[in-house]
Amino acid sequence: MARHRESMPYADGRPREVPATQEVHDLDDVTKSILEALDHIDDPDYVMPDHLVMAISPNELLNENGERRSLPVRPEGWTPGPGEEHITAWRIEKEQPKLSRYDRAFLKKTTLQTKFDEEADLQKKQLIGLQLSKAIEVWKTELKRGTDDIWRARDRIDEWRSGAGRSERNSSRRKVRAKPNIMTPKAVLSSETVEQRHERERLADTARKRLARASLTEGQKLAVRQKDRDRKALKAAEGKARRLSSAAEGNAGQPSELPK
């Protein structure tokens, strides 16, 4: 039909000129070659044309045991860089569409609705019904939020934080170092000095005590403060006793003054 239309003249009688471009010619050749290859698919002596042979050898898709190996996943448009010349085959990572809060709530609701309609067991159907009722409430909430400008602005902020602005936001929240820490937590702890370890333990102990005291009642807080005062008083008394004992031992070897 397309070729018949191409041979028809225009409405004013002028002949239709179709340029025989190289692309159309190549496409026709490829189509003919594919059809020919399909006709000889059972012929072991048939040699496939060079322009139909895969650029990647089938052996590159197999491991040493002759099994199909799993290919690394790379983004679209990726090319092997320095040190990656050994990667000769890879799978293209297709970008999945990002679902909004409403999309996720609607998808969960419809999925549970389908399960509820198809379930024959009464007990399981009741459990699915409870989940479905909660999913419907969430869906209604997200439906209302979808018309709120404030919630839409928050969603855009969250999307920016988790996507294009992730590195910028993380760098603005750093207080200790300017660059992200590439060391593992175990490596960080093993590289600490004795002073750094003591300081970390002191800060952790202080934070733990502050958190514990925040959950106490007023009576418990008074008891804790009284216990702290008693401990400090006992520590001061022990220090005074040690100083008096040291002074007494120092005066023991000196001759006493004679009475006048």
pLDDT score of 70: 67
Domain ranges of the chain: 1-53, 58-95, 101-172
Kindly report the three-state secondary structure assignment for every residue of the chain.
CHHHHHHCCCCCCCCCCCCCCHHHHHHHHHHHHHHHHHHCCCCCCCCCCHHHCCCCCHHHHECCCCCECCCCEEECCCCCCCCCCCCCCCEEECCCCCCCHHHHHHHHHHHHHHHHHHCCCHHHHHHHHHHHHHHHHHHHHHHHHCCCHHHHHHHHHHHHHHCCCHHHHHHHCCCCCCCCCCCCHHHHHHCCCHHHHHHHHHHHHHHHHHHHHHCCCHHHHHHHHHHHHHHHHHHHHHHHHHHHHHHHHHHHCCCCCCCC
Q: Alpha-carbon distance 151 to 165, whole Å?
A: 19
pLDDT score of 129: 92
pLDDT score of 220: 83
pLDDT score of 55: 39
In Å, how far are 86, 107, 112, 137, 200 from 119, measured between CA atoms? 51, 18, 10, 21, 56
pLDDT score of 202: 92
Least Cα distance to 131 among 160, 108, 157 occurs for 108
Q: Alpha-carbon distance 35 to 51, whole Å?
A: 14
Would you state the structure tokens that stand for residue 15, as one six-digit string? Answer: 């002949």
Q: Alpha-carbon distance 107 to 103, whole Å?
A: 6
pLDDT, one tens digit for every residue, the chain (260 residues):
445 555 556 566 666 554 444 444 445 666 677 777 777 777 777 776 665 554 344 445 555 665 655 667 777 777 777 777 677 666 666 666 778 888 889 999 999 999 999 988 889 999 999 999 999 999 999 988 888 888 888 888 888 888 788 888 877 877 776 666 666 777 778 888 889 889 989 999 998 888 887 888 888 888 888 888 999 999 999 988 888 888 777 666 555 554 44
pLDDT score of 54: 45
Q: Alpha-carbon distance 54 to 51, whole Å?
A: 8
pLDDT score of 108: 93
